[in-house]
């Protein structure tokens, strides 16, 4: 079974608007970490934000916030005030417990329209 | 501080040939990971080194793939002989701790097997 599901292959957002990228996960491990990475056209994978399963508050990093709904097993990324430079591929990932590997989704391609 | 670097950035080879990909992790990072993304699919874990030792190679697809990390610094991933289905982007990542909050990814090597 897929551990990370990203159901939006492509998304468009108007510049300065907010956008939500969906991510659901599947694990029976009570301890896990959730990550979002951005991959611009240049290819590098840029770490954006992290949420631990025991964290009480939703993670925030500048214009990025993670809408963590544990009961629904969702970890959506919210980008506020979109900028043209936000156009990229976005990957949701999870690490389980003491595991060493990341499980990734298939990614969402975000295009910011001027 | 230099990030994770990978060489080459692109490689085009014919079926049956051999290709060697190289990854230089961030200095001081004992943990090194290889991942692969086949077109349109999720990024999948291949293996994990701790220093020069293979900690987990459960994701290696078959014995045509050989990863090494002599001396615990850079790592190579050799595909011999390459098949069409090996085409994809190969990512390397490194981290100081396995339980750290992120893995730092390189820009990837795009491998095309014709």
pLDDT in tens, A4-57: 999 999 999 999 999 999 999 999 999 999 999 999 988 889 999 999 999 989
Q: What pLDDT is attached to residue B101?
A: 67
- Cβ <8 Å between A102 and B103: yes
State residue A20's pLDDT score.
98
d(CA A29, CA A31): 5
Output DSSP code: residue A58.
P
Question: Which of A:49-78 have CB within 8 Å of B?
Answer: 50
Cβ <8 Å between B43 and A42: no
Interface check B48 vs A, CB under 8 A: yes
State yes or no: pLDDT of B1 exceeds 80. Answer: no
Distance from CA of B52 to the nearest CA of A (A): 16
> In this complex, do A45 and B105 lie within 8 Å of one another by their Cβ atoms?
yes
Q: What value does the mean pLDDT take over residues B44-50? A: 94
Q: In this complex, is the C-beta atom of B53 within 8 Å of any C-beta atom belonging to chain A?
A: no
Rounded distance, CA B31 to CA B94, Å? 5
A98, pLDDT greater than 80: no
What percent of chain A clears pLDDT 90, i.e. is strictly above it?
89
The DSSP element (H or E) to which B95 belongs, if any, is: strand B88-95
pLDDT at B24 over 90: yes
* Cβ atoms of residues B30 and A93 within 8 Å: no
In A, which residues are within 8 Å of B55 by CB distance?
100
B102 with A47: Cβ contact below 8 A? yes
Pairing of strands A64-69, A60-61: antiparallel
* B5/A contact by beta carbon, under 8 A: no
- Residue B41: its pLDDT value, please? 86
Tell me the mean pLDDT in the region A79-102.
Answer: 93
Which of A45, A101, A106 is the closest to B42 by Cβ?
A106
Cβ of B105 and A44 within 8 Å? yes
């Amino acid at each position: 079974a897929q551990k990370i599901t990203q159901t939006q292959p492509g998304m468009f957002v108007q510049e300065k608007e907010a956008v939500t990228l969906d991510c659901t996960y599947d694990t029976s491990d009570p301890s896990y970490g959730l990550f979002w990475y951005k991959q611009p056209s240049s290819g590098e994978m840029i770490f954006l934000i992290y949420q631990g399963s025991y964290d009480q508050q939703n993670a925030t990093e500048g214009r990025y916030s993670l809408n963590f709904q544990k009961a629904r097993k969702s970890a959506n990324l919210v980008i506020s005030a979109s900028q043209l430079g936000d156009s990229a591929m976005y990957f949701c990932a999870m690490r389980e417990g003491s595991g060493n590997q990341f499980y990734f989704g298939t990614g969402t391609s975000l295009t910011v329209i001027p | 501080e230099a990030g994770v670097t990978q060489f080459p950035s692109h490689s085009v080879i014919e079926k049956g040939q051999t290709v060697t990909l190289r990854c230089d992790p961030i200095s001081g990072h004992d943990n090194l990971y290889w991942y692969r993304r086949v077109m349109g699919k999720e990024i999948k874990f291949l293996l994990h080194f701790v220093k020069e030792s293979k900690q987990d190679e459960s994701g290696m697809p078959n014995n045509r793939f050989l990863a090494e990390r002599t001396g615990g610094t850079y790592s190579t991933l050799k595909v011999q002989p390459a098949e069409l289905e090996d085409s994809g982007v190969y990512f390397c990542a490194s981290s100081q701790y396995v339980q750290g909050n992120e893995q730092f990814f390189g820009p990837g090597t795009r491998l095309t097997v014709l």
